[in-house]
Structure formats: structure tokens, C-alpha cells
Amino acid sequence: MQIQDLLFSQGFGTRRVCAGLVQQGLVQVNGQVLSEPAQPVQPQGLRYSVQGVQWLFQERAYLMLHKPAGYECSRKPGAWPSIYTLLPSPLRQRGGGAAAGVQAVGRLDQDTTGLLLLSDDGKFIHRMTSPRHHVPKVYEIVARHPVDARQLDRLLAGVVLEDHDQPVRAADCMLTGSHTLRLTLTEGKYHQVKRMVAAVGNRVEQLHRSRMGDLSLPADLAVGQWRWLEPGDLRALDGVKDPTEDPTGQ
């Protein structure tokens, strides 16, 4: 692969822009400044720098973000800034074309915080968001009123939301304090957690997603920060095959 094509695939601009980065001496591979846009490189495992920032070639992007409150999971937000402004430009432009860049794996409301995955792998996004796959998502809730056993029982048994014929229920639900509970869902309907809690006579004051599958939000990932998913993180996502593994098992 030519270095200009590699940079284009990783989101550093059009091929002309990427060629210009190389010609200006702004790209290094293994500490060596490159000057020819057509210079061939081996992409797998390649570490390179662009304008002094280190990168590792990633055929597909798998990220986690500690989403802050006050951000929308949209590229065209309304009253609030977009979560995509929290990411460096190359991640927002990867691949080029109409569907360039990483996409949020499902959405969190603007006032909801916590674990948000992003990827440019459509199959991975579908696997994580399709209700057929029942990927558990764990939410930490602060309620306005005290939570009692009756409310927990109703959340587990199922509540009817006005735009659904069948009851929706929590896969698991437990009290963690007088006004706090931990709720697990395996689907993601519109404002589902808030509407379920409202249906049992309470109100969500704060909502935080702490886990997806067996992947928990790391304690050392600060609010508003992101990082690449490691192979172990991918294995923790409840049956999601590690995309870095050799399909032949070798």
C-alpha cells in the first residue's frame, strides 16, 4: 500500500491532502521522514506519525468513549454539541465517502453519561445493537423518589410503554441505595430506561451506562476521553468475535 493511500484510509484527508502531508515532510515511519507519496509501506502493525502525533494502523476502528452529559450522539446536533467533537479529526474522517468516520454504537441521550462504543465496522455495530443478539447493557440510575421492592418487581415483570403492544422488562434490576438502582437491558428502545422508571411511578434524575456485555467502563478513563478497544475488551463484549483474531485459528 502506498503511504498516501494508507493515510487516506486512516482519515487524514483526501488523497491530495495526504500526498501533501508526505511532500511537506510531516509523515514519519519508524522515525524516518518520508517524502514520496507513492512510497510503499506494509500496513499491518505499522506505527507512524503525522505532524508529530503517533498512530498505529487500524484496518477497522473500535473505540470506547466516556460520554459526558450535555453532548448529543449525532453528527448534526441540535441544541448541544456533538460527541464527535471529542474525537480527533482522523477518526471522524476514516475511509472517506458519505459514511466516513466512526459511528456511535447505539445512542445515549444528551444528559446520559458513561460507556459509548464507536466503530466504522458495520457488522460490529449491527451485532452490538440488534435486539436479536441480546447484548446486555447495564445502567446506574439515580431516581427522584425512593425506590421500593414493588417498583423493582414491576420493572422485572414488564411495563407497557404507550407505543409498544408488548411489555418491556429489565433483564436484571437491583437496589444499590434508597434512591439508586442498577438496571440491565438487552434492547434499546427510545428513552427506554427513563420511560420504564416513569411507568412504575418514579423519575430518572441521573443515568449512567456502566457496562456493555462484560466490558465495563474503566475507572481510569476520564469523562470526555476515548481510547482504542484492546483485544480483551472486544472479547468481553458478550460473544462478539475479536476482529483481530486469525479466522483460521493460526
Is position 109 annotated as part of the catalytic site? yes
Closest among 179, 111, 174, 191 to 145, alpha carbons compared: 179
The torsion angles phi and psi of 14, rounded to 5 degrees, stand at -65, 165
C-alpha cell at 228: 482504542
Rounded Cα–Cα distance for residues 9 and 26 (Å): 17
Rounded Cα–Cα distance for residues 119 and 127 (Å): 12
Collapsing DSSP states into helix, strand and coil, what is residue 247? coil
Give me the catalytic one of 109, 111, 121, 238. 109
Q: CA dihedral in degrees (190, 226, 119, 77; nearest 10)? A: 50
The answer to whether residues 174 and 153 touch, using CB atoms and an 8 Å cutoff, is: no
Q: Nearest-5° angle of CA 132, CA 211, CA 108?
A: 75
Closest among 162, 160, 163, 112 to 138, alpha carbons compared: 112
Between β-strands 27-29 and 47-50, what pairing exists: parallel, antiparallel or unpaired? antiparallel
Q: Tell me which residues are annotated as active site.
A: 109
